[in-house]
Chains A and B, each alone.
Chain A
């Protein structure tokens, strides 16, 4: 746990909730894109509030909210700083672990752009634009590779 986390997480319960979140959940999820999607899924679409019943039972709503929010922001920034090549790898990991057909997932993601709702609420607008743009490009790279697989063997 570094000092920045300590500064961002207001109370000891939030720190413990954050550690627990990483040890039991996020640490077991492969890839940061997967983690960001997971964290976004703990957020209510209408209110924007984070909920995690298991963690809330141990640490309380406010501490868990802080822990989820902090983890979401951190992973968002890490992905925003990633190169396009790294982001394509993240997308590949996500596709593999989703269990869906890659063709279908690529088609859905390229059409509906569901990754847009995975951005943290407080994210800087330009950083969000950068990540969304890179994800769009990454999906196009994967689509192109699937249609012309010989180039990458």
Chain B
């Protein structure tokens, strides 16, 4: 058993070395790729990914407003509508996290001064966010419309960490996109 574990660890060590050596070998091409790469923050902050969105979907005020109408049909319709929106939002978020992770993995192959610890933390964060999306999807399906609110807030906070985390691994992270304007009074 110990022998198997030893060979397994050795294989991982060899694979890691080959991976990093290969990454160094293509660093020249990597400089160009890094210049052309889309910003992680801009991928995260594309339209539709606005801070108010989860707040609106899991809005407690809207839920109270509907409950005050005292209509089971309205309550049911509201639950259905918000569930559909929440599922759509969560699918979108999970897909975007996966896309950013794939892009990051691709980019990190070209990095010459890769911080392995920061990379591992970042990968753990990516996984955590995807698992969190799965948990929220479950809560959305079984609980009342506002139930995932705290989880969504936590998700947004954790997703916000992708900025500094990425910055540690890849030096250049442009500022987030300009916030959309509020309407004229």
CB contacts (< 8 Å) of A8 on chain B: these are 181
> Which chain A residue lies CB-closest to B92?
A126
**B152-185 Cβ-contact flags toward A at 8 Å (1 or 0):** 0000000000000000000000000010111110
CB contacts (< 8 Å) of A7 on chain B: these are 178
For the residues of A in contact with B, the DSSP-based class is helix
The tally of residues in B whose CB lies under 8 Å from a CB in A reads 32
Q: Which residues of B contact A (CB under 8 A)?
A: 47-48, 50, 52-53, 56-57, 59, 61-62, 65-66, 69-71, 73-74, 77-78, 81-82, 84-85, 88-89, 92, 178, 180-184
**A3-16 Cβ-contact flags toward B at 8 Å (1 or 0):** 01101100000000
A137 near B48 (CB under 8 angstroms)?
no
CB contacts (< 8 Å) of B56 on chain A: these are 80-81, 130
A129 near B78 (CB under 8 angstroms)?
no
A84 near B65 (CB under 8 angstroms)?
yes
Which residues from 46 to 83 on chain A have a C-beta closer than 8 Å to any C-beta of chain B? 74-75, 77-78, 80-81, 83
A141 near B48 (CB under 8 angstroms)?
no
Q: Assuming A85-B61, A144-B71, is B183 touching A126 (CB within 8 A)?
A: no
CB contacts (< 8 Å) of A75 on chain B: these are 183
Q: Which of A5, A125, A130, A144 contacts B57 (CB 8 A)?
A: A130
B62 near A84 (CB under 8 angstroms)?
yes
CB contacts (< 8 Å) of A77 on chain B: these are 180-183
Q: Which residues of A contact B (CB under 8 A)?
A: 2, 4-5, 7-8, 22, 32, 74-75, 77-78, 80-81, 83-85, 124-127, 129-130, 133, 136-137, 140-141, 144-145, 148, 151
Q: A129–B47 Cα gap in the complex (Å)?
A: 13
CB contacts (< 8 Å) of B47 on chain A: these are 124, 127
Q: A136–B62 Cα gap in the complex (Å)?
A: 14
Q: A54–B88 Cα gap in the complex (Å)?
A: 42
A137 near B77 (CB under 8 angstroms)?
yes
B184 near A133 (CB under 8 angstroms)?
no
Q: How far is the CB of A150 from chain B (nearest CB, A)?
A: 11
B73 near A84 (CB under 8 angstroms)?
no
